[in-house]
């Protein structure tokens, strides 16, 4: 769906990011919970921190200052056991510099990994974060066409990468964090209406 079409529809909050692929995924998941979002393209400043949650919290505060409307942002990381959690909170930078090929070259036998997603909400009264995780393994080669690390991440008890799965948006780390957010957000909105 094009951005122009989005603008004609009503929406509940902005999703702030520079990544349109991520917006489309988040939009589809939230729509399944009855929440409509609008894309606000903006390059968020990323602080250096060992905490994904702290990075997401700061990004959400900055996004709200820029947008001045209720927003959510998503920050995520791929944490690989044999690399002591690398690339972790630096996943975006690492993907831009060495990509999936670089990650695959770094790995030997232990290919265990996890994806973590943090959704941070911010408005003029509340800042709140929600975490989702999924365990899995890194494939030996890239499989499927998609964005980010999806072609190399295989969820636990599966034999296909995220990029090869039709139902990724029903089991991913992002789905889990957005489900937690949606439950909280819809409850909050219902309480405000009473």
Query: Which residues are catalytically annotated?
Result: 75
Structure tokens that stand for 78 in this block: 């791929």
3-state secondary structure of 174: helix
Residue 90, classified by CB atoms within 10 Å of its CB into exposed (0-12), middle (13-18) or buried (19+), is: middle
| 117 bridge partner residues | 76, 132
3-state secondary structure of 129: strand
What secondary structure letter does DSSP report for 77? E
Instruction: Give dist(CA 103, CA 93) in Å, integer.
Output: 12
The string of DSSP letters for 13-54 reads EEEEES-HHHHHHHHHHHHHTT--EEEEE--------S-HHH
The string of DSSP letters for 97-116 reads HTHHHHHHHH--S--EEEEE
């Amino acid at each position: 769906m094009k951005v122009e079409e989005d603008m004609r529809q009503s929406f509940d909050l902005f999703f702030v990011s520079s990544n349109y692929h991520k917006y489309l995924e988040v939009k589809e998941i939230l729509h399944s919970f009855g929440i409509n979002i609008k894309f606000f393209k903006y390059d968020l400043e990323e602080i250096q921190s060992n905490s994904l949650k702290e990075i997401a919290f700061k990004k959400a505060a900055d996004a709200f200052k820029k947008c001045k409307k209720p927003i959510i942002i998503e920050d995520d990381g791929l944490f690989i056991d044999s690399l002591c959690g690398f690339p972790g909170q630096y996943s975006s930078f690492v993907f831009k510099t060495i990509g999936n090929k670089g990650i695959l070259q770094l790995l030997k036998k232990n290919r265990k990994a996890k994806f973590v997603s943090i959704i941070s909400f911010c408005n003029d009264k509340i800042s709140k974060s929600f975490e989702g995780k999924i365990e899995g393994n890194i494939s030996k080669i890239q499989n499927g066409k998609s964005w980010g690390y999806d072609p190399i991440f295989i969820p636990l008890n599966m034999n296909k990468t995220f990029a090869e799965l039709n139902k990724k948006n029903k089991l991913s780390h992002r789905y889990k964090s957005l489900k937690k957010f949606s439950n909280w957000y819809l409850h909050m909105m219902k309480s405000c209406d009473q």
